[in-house]
Amino acid sequence: MDSNHKSLPDGTCEYHRPPADDSNSDSQSYYDKHDTVFGRILRGELPAITLAESTRLLAIQDLKPRAPLHALIIPKGFVGSVFDVTGDDQEWMEEMKSMALDLVQAQHPQAFAKGDYRLCFHIPPFNSVNHLHLHVLAPASTMGIYYKYVKYLPGTRWCIEMDEVMTRLQQHMSPVPYQRPPMCPPQTQDMTAAAATTIPNQAKSSSCQSEEKEKDSC
């Protein structure tokens, strides 16, 4: 699987270093000004355990891992939730999947070989942070019952498999087979303009943001 991202050694909690000036170059313009825990991690205001990184994506360890590998992969440009991804996002979604599979393969090769992993998104209003994050869980068979059969169970109103989202986008369908809840308005920014605009407290006013559980980083 193609991967131009670097995998980083596990276990170190550190401050992400955003580019010194994020207003000039393309690669720098993906940095998020949004006021969520992930925006703060991207800007180096909160530490996180970084597992992999590319120009467009950052993979960090979940604060409360529910499997031996529990990574969160976030786009550096702001994307509110799985409701906000479109056909234009397929390229970085592919990269997100590739980064996820590389992490599973590197850390749990047997789980990778058996397909014993989950790549899924929570669907608003059942998301914890209003910044799209892919949950990467492996080996899935070791997860606790509640997490395996409830919280991270794709095919429910609250959780959807990454592959299903990608298939739906390829077929020019909406990313999720549900209506967007009225309390979760569209929240996207052009990935290339992410750094140019600040959306102060927009997410805070949404009840999608109400339980920002993954608050502290590591």
Query: Which spans of this chain sit near Zn ion (rule: CB under 5 A)?
Result: 122, 128
Nearer to Zn ion by Cβ, of 70 and 122: the residue is 122
Which residue sits closest to Zn ion, CB atoms considered? Answer: 122
In the complex, minimum distance from the CB of residue 21 to Zn ion, in angstroms, rounded to a whole number: 32
Nearer to Zn ion by Cβ, of 18 and 124: the residue is 124
Which residues carry out catalysis? 133
In the complex, minimum distance from the CB of residue 52 to Zn ion, in angstroms, rounded to a whole number: 18
Nearest C-alpha neighbor of 118 from the set 102, 141, 96 = 141
How far from each other are the two terminal CA atoms of the chain, in whole angstroms? 30
* CB-based contact 21:28 (threshold 8 Å): yes
Secondary structure (3-state) at 212: coil
Nearest C-alpha neighbor of 189 from the set 78, 40, 36 = 78
Tell me the C-alpha distance between 27 and 95, whole Å.
15
In the complex, minimum distance from the CB of residue 135 to Zn ion, in angstroms, rounded to a whole number: 6
Task: Find the helix or strand (DSSP H, E) in which 94 lies.
Answer: helix 90-107
The token duo for 52 is 């992999």
In the complex, minimum distance from the CB of residue 196 to Zn ion, in angstroms, rounded to a whole number: 27
Nearer to Zn ion by Cβ, of 43 and 151: the residue is 151
Nearer to Zn ion by Cβ, of 77 and 124: the residue is 124
